[in-house]
Structure 1
Amino acid sequence: MRKLVFGAFFLIILVSILVSFSLYNGKHNKELEESINSAFKENSVEKIDLNSLTDFDWDKAYIFPPYTPQESINEQIGINFKDPSSIDYRDDIYLIVFVNHDKVVQYAEISRENGDVSTPDDALTPSNATLKINRDVF
């Protein structure tokens, strides 16, 4: 009986660990958000180099505009990522998702308060990591 209880307890712990790993969505990088949003407020800034603002490893970054459906995010990044920003219902932000070795490592919400971001057709890479700011929409 004791072995059965121990086995069930061990199985519950193992399943809990596996579920927590599968639900990992990367870190919400609020410092990066603040840096990008501060750059947006400076009217002289037209481009932002993500390399100068990131201090973590990434090989691709995806930028999603307002109202992007969850299915489109997962299809584009090729990973099952549960969007914590609910961008599919929002028009006030862009979502930027950083991927390293096929895992989401960090994400940030970019406010549209001071402008929009030109969204590239493909993912950004460290060798091509420039965000272009468009202020003509206001």
Structure 2
Amino acid sequence: MTTFDWDKAYLFTPYSTQEAIEEELGTDFKDPSHISTRDDIYLLVFLDGDEVVQYVEMERQGSDFSIGKEGHLTPSNDVISIERH
């Protein structure tokens, strides 16, 4: 469902720090969402190689998102589970 090339995507939870995001991505990324101070969104960041190519702010609205044990998504394994509480 994307219109761009990507090989990994990472999901960041509310209050994720800038340092934690960059460590997980393995590259510089200036978080435009300011998720480190927010509890109303998740941040989904797409990489192609070591370059960030897209990001999405996903509103929580009382939901929890999970991408499983791998810690990231790939085009061949791109299922996101959504649990509504």
Q: What range describes the TM-score normalised by the shorter chain of this pair?
A: over 0.9
Larger radius of gyration: 1
- Report the TM-score, using the length of structure 1 for normalisation: 0.58
Q: 2:19 aligned to 41, 47, 71, which one?
A: 71
What value does the CA root-mean-square deviation take over the aligned residues?
A: 1.1
Structure number having the greater strand percentage: 2
1:96 and 2:28 are equivalent in the alignment: no
Answer whether contact 2:11 2:43 (CA < 8 A) is retained. yes
- Where does structure 1 differ by over 2 angstroms across 4 or more consecutive aligned residues? none
C-alpha displacement of 1:101: 1.4
List alignment gaps of at least 5 residues for structure 1: 1-52
Q: 2:79 aligned to 115, 124, 130, which one?
A: 130
- Match runs of 1:1-138 below 5 Å: 53-113=1-61, 115-121=63-69, 122-136=71-85
Q: Letter of the aligned partner of 1:123 in structure 2? A: H
Answer whether contact 1:64 1:119 (CA < 8 A) is retained. no
C-alpha displacement of 1:113: 1.2
Structure number having the greater helix percentage: 1
- Report the TM-score, using the length of structure 2 for normalisation: 0.92
List alignment gaps of at least 5 residues for structure 2: none
1:39-96 residue CA offsets vs partner (Å, 9 max, x unmatched):
xxxxxxxxxxxxxx21110000000000000000000000010000000000000000
